[in-house]
Structure 1
Amino acid sequence: MDKELIRQAAAELYKQLPGNILDEAMDILPEHVGTRMFDEPLVGFGGADDALFDEYKKVGVIGPWHMSPAEWLPQAKTVVSLFFPASLEVRQSNRRAKEKASDLWAYARIEGQAFIGSYMAALQGWFRELGVEACVPALDPRWLAVRAGEGIEGYPEIREDTYGSNWSERHAAYVCGLGTFGLSKGLITEKGMAGRFGSILIDAKLAPDLRPYSGIYDYCTRCGACIKRCPVAAIDLEHGKDHTVCGPFLALSRTLLAPRYGCGLCQTGVPCETRIP
């Protein structure tokens, strides 16, 4: 088992698995049939024992409800993070949007996430066929979301303005060397931030990828483009994104884009859409 073998398997799964191309069965607008939602994923590797996972448990970083790799999979040795860049068609459509997400972006958020889920399940199966135990936190029944105003029993530290989950795909990607955060709280990778993440924990020991950064915002130039793109002024230069403003707008998008939802305006039409600025 080595990293190159895993990267090759990831590329092959991307080519073989159905679900990344929009089709009639998905109940979409006819003009979007045949559109690809995501490009081939980037793959990064991190140590399951990386000290950052302990940092993530601190109040004010993520919180004590964030589960470490060992809590998901006791024998975990390596974290594998994948970034699925949004396709040109998806990005272009959302770049033109002003007040709400484009239809293509909403499809990539819902149907696209379903594809990523099936992809991660297939990757987990591939590892297990090779005798490597694997856990995909986002597909595990223990995964849960934390939303403002909702608490988790046993964690009084959760604030009224807390948004997140007990496993952060972006923070895992940061550990694995894939990128750093921007003002909009998205992660800027070498392919930009317009896209979605997945991750898997395995019990095979692999060398972590070098993190070519030391600060959580190293790739963000603070240009303010995402501030101008946000339709509800949820981002500012001093504090970044305010989830208590963004969250209700995302909730409203369930009506605006029913039966789907999403936004992503701050990820498109900005310098970090497809690259490190």
Structure 2
Amino acid sequence: MRPDFASIAETIRAFVADPAVNRQGPDCDEPCFREPLVAVAAGDDPLWAFFKRDIGDFVWTPEEAFALAFPDAPASAPDLCVISWVLPQTPQTLAAHARETRFPSLPWSRVRHFGETINENLRRHVTAWLCKRGVRACAPALLPGFERTISAKYHFASPWSERHAAYAAGHGTFGLSDGLITRAGKAHRVGSVVAELSLQATPRAYEGPYDWCLHHATGKCGVCARRCPAGSVRPSAQGRRDKQKCFDYIRGTTQAHVRDRQLGIEVSSCGLCQAGLPCSTGIPRGKRSRGR
């Protein structure tokens, strides 16, 4: 029997629910994430072509990513779907991080490092689980060729954006600082798998890419801009975060802080624009939305 959405979602949730998996490192039993959110985007959704036009021709559509994984027998876009998940940060990590103003909190740095390893393992787990049930699948973020590149319009980019996949799957919309605001908030890790499977796409309860951002809805807020120690988030820039300033601050300041004072290794940790906000744990009141 072919897997359905319910069984896939339960597989993802069960993986994250395992305390032996979901922990902030080998010496810390605190969980990295709350219960995941799971959604689906159609492989032939017009948004994939739009992302390619808007961000750059280097961006993969689901069909192109699948062809890289299965070059001898690719699949057409209508036969594919994208299974996307959001792994929300815990209230404890968010509370610790909201108290910081210059450097990342220790729990946040742990989740940035160990949590993304969990996310990578979840990509592999879902892919293997589907393949065992006769469904060809791949995780675009784990494919050869997935690496940082430059978009003429948006600066740093990659061939596959987990946030854009989540937007296509109905998880949420972007905020002033480029983070994705979901029903579980803005503080999370995101992952996805492309599968040769017919699943109903999750409806998008929004029309535009910034509908759930309080600043874009009301012209007010801008807390994420004030929280950014690098000055990379600008309320007048319509979501165009200065990615170079963000990159330079992390490489020049927070990586050394994490290495010297927290974990003993360099970690690209910051995320101060994701905690202590009206959208940190959910959709802020006053946003634009046509749905729930």
TM-score normalised by the chain length of structure 2? 0.85
Query: What is the Cα-based RMSD across aligned positions, in Å?
Result: 1.6
Q: Which residue of 60, 65, 71 maps to 1:67? A: 60
Which of 9, 30, 38 in structure 2 is aligned with 1:35?
Answer: 30
Contact 2:19 2:29 in 1 (8 A): no
Question: Equivalents in 2 of 1:93, 1:9: separation in Å?
Answer: 30
Asked if the contact 1:161/1:244 (under 8 Å) is kept, the reply is no
Q: Distance in 1 between matches of 2:154 and 2:161?
A: 17
Partner of residue 218, structure 1: 211
Question: Is 1:134 aligned to residue 137 of structure 2?
Answer: yes
Unaligned runs of 5+ in 1: 27-32, 148-157
**Offset from partner CA, 1:237-257 (integer Å, 9 cap, x none):** 111321121111121222121
Q: 1:17, CA displacement in angstroms?
A: 7.0
Letter paired with 2:257: L
Further displaced range: 1-10 or 188-197: 1-10
Distance across 1 between alignment mates of 2:83 and 2:258: 33
Deviation at 1:18, TM superposition (A): 3.2
Q: Distance in 2 between matches of 1:197 and 1:118?
A: 12
1:30 alignment counterpart: none
Alignment match, 1:202: 195
Partner of 2:218: none
> Using the alignment, how far apart are the partners of 1:161 and 1:57 within structure 2?
12
Cα distance between partner residues in 2 of 1:102 and 1:261 = 13
Q: Please report how far the alpha carbon of residue 113 of structure 1 lies from its aligned counterpart in structure 2 after TM superposition.
A: 0.4
Q: Does 1:243 align with 2:250?
A: no
**1:272 pairs with 2:279:** yes
1:257 aligns with 2:245: no
Q: SS of the residue aligned with 2:85?
A: strand
1:1-277 counterparts in 2 under 5 A? 1-16=3-18, 18-23=20-25, 25=26, 33-58=28-53, 61-73=54-66, 74-75=74-75, 77-146=80-149, 158-159=151-152, 162-222=155-215, 223-239=221-237, 240=239, 241-252=241-252, 253-258=254-259, 259=265, 260-277=267-284
**1:92-134: CA deviations, max 9, x gaps?**
1111111011111111111110111111111111101110001
Q: Report the Cα offset of residue 35 of structure 1.
A: 1.1
TM-score (norm 1): 0.89
- By how many angstroms is 1:161 displaced? 6.7
In 1, the alpha carbon distance for the partners of 2:210 and 2:195 equals 28
Given that residues 55 and 153 in structure 2 are in contact (C-alpha distance below 8 angstroms), is that contact kept between their aligned partners in structure 1?
Answer: no
Tell me the number of residue pairs that the alignment of Structure 1 and Structure 2 aligns.
Answer: 258
| Alpha-carbon distance in structure 1 between the residues aligned to 2:176 and 2:102 | 20
CA–CA distance in structure 2, aligned partners of residues 144 and 264 of structure 1: 21
Question: Aligned residues: percent identity?
Answer: 33
The 4+ residue runs of structure 1 with deviation greater than 4 A are none
Q: 2 CA distance for matches of 1:160 and 1:198? A: 24
Alpha-carbon distance between aligned partners in 1 of 2:135 and 2:18, rounded to the nearest angstrom = 22
Q: Supply the AA of the counterpart residue of 2:278.
A: P
Distance 1:174 1:160 in 2: 19
Name the amino acid aligned to 1:269.
Answer: G
Q: Which runs of 5+ in 2 are unaligned?
A: 67-73, 216-220, 260-264, 285-292
State the AA in 1 paired with 2:137.
Answer: A
1:271 aligned partner, one-letter code:
P
Instruction: Report the Cα distance in structure 2 between the residues aligned to 1:195 and 1:243, rounded to whole angstroms.
Output: 19
Alignment check: 8 A CA contact 2:146 2:159 kept: yes
1:115-174 C-alpha deviation (Å, 9 max, x unpaired): 111111111111011100011011112211125xxxxxxxxxx44971111100000000
Deviation larger for 71-80 or 90-99: 71-80
Structure 2 Cα separation of the partners of residues 185 and 160 of structure 1:
14
Q: Are the counterparts in 1 of residues 15 and 21 from structure 2 also a CA contact under 8 Å?
A: no
> Any idea what SS the aligned residue of 1:132 has?
coil
